[in-house]
Amino acid sequence: MSQSADLARAQQRFARRQRLVRWRSWLPWAIGGALVVVAAVIVWLFYYSSALAVDGVRVSGADTVPVATIQNVAEAPVGTPLAKVDLRSIADRVRTIPAVADAQVTRAWPNKVVIVVTERVPVVVVTDGSRFELVDATGTTFKTVAARPAGLPEAKVTGSRRDVTVHSVVTVSAALPDTLRTQVGSISAASPDSITLNLSSGVKVVWGSSDDSERKAEVLSVLMKRKAKVYDVSAPDLPVTKGEKR
């Protein structure tokens, strides 16, 4: 009986080892199969299921541009799985809005497209006498309004090289110190090389081209300590005044 019992126990131990060996040999396959299933579920969930499909658009950063306009131009594909949405194309479409300087588009899981816009900020108002155009710091005209907005220099631009002249005017305006910019009633420019600042006090500043604008602004700040009717800084190393009061 003792030998029979020992033999039975040995057979049981051998059978257990055999099962363990078989289980270990099948374990990698089982794990691999499970991973494949999980991956397939994830792919289906993100790329084919309606559970993570776009159901709306959130817009931030819009102050003057209507949110509805941005949403319409964006053409976010509602009902399309969020993972498959082409964010770059949406951003490119939003950037075509004249008053939008830039747009960043991201995904907000599980169902939203988020658009963050940067609007253009006007730095000067360009007019030909009949309409007023808002121009930002890049020289881009992005909006036409019926009346001159308060708080912005008005630029009367004429001549054939209008776009270049507008860029030059913006460069000059950006170079002016705040204390001087607030005194500017209008800016006259018949060409990129003939820019004149008309101060609210009646004083004129002959600026010339936009070259060396920062240097011209420094020279003008010193020159204006002398009271005159005209300051000419078109050649900043040889500034001239006219109608100076003695």
Q: DSSP string of 186-243?
A: EEEESSTT-EEEEETTS-EEEEESSTTHHHHHHHHHHHTTS--SEEE-SSTTS-EEES
**Residue 147 tokens, joined:** 């009346």
Q: DSSP string of 30-71?
A: HHHHHHHHHHHHHHHHHHT-GGGB--EEEEES-SSS-HHHHH
- Note the pLDDT tens digit of each residue in 38-47: 666 666 656 7
pLDDT at 235: 95
Between 9 and 198, the higher pLDDT residue: 198
Residues 1-10 have a mean pLDDT of 60
pLDDT at 45: 58
- Residue 158 CB contacts under 8 Å (≥ 6 apart), including other chains: 128, 189, 190
Residue 56: which pLDDT band, with cuts at 50, 70 and 90?
A: very high
Lowest mean pLDDT among 54-58, 147-151, 202-206, 218-222: 147-151
Q: DSSP string of 81-136?
A: BGGG--HHHHHHHHTTSTTEEEEEEEEETTTEEEEEEEE--EEEEEESSS-EEEEE
Residue 5 predicted with pLDDT over 90? no
Residues 49-69 have a mean pLDDT of 91
Q: Does domain 52-119 have CATH number 3.10.20.310?
A: yes
Cα separations in angstroms, 28 against 24, 32, 165, 224: 8, 6, 73, 85
pLDDT at 150: 81
CA atoms within 13 A on the CB side of 5: 2
Between 192 and 22, the higher pLDDT residue: 192
- Note the pLDDT tens digit of each residue in 183-212: 898 999 999 999 999 998 999 999 999 999
Rounded Cα distance between 236 and 3, Å, is: 117
Rounded Cα distance between 74 and 93, Å, is: 6
Rounded Cα distance between 128 and 55, Å, is: 46
Residue 10 predicted with pLDDT over 60? no
Rounded Cα distance between 197 and 213, Å, is: 13
Residues 77-101 have a mean pLDDT of 95
The phi, psi pair for 170, rounded to 5°, reads -65, -40
Fold that domain 122-242 belongs to in CATH: Rossmann fold (3.40.50)
Q: Which value, to the nearest 10 degrees, does the dihedral of the CA atoms of residues 211, 214, 218, 219 take? A: 0
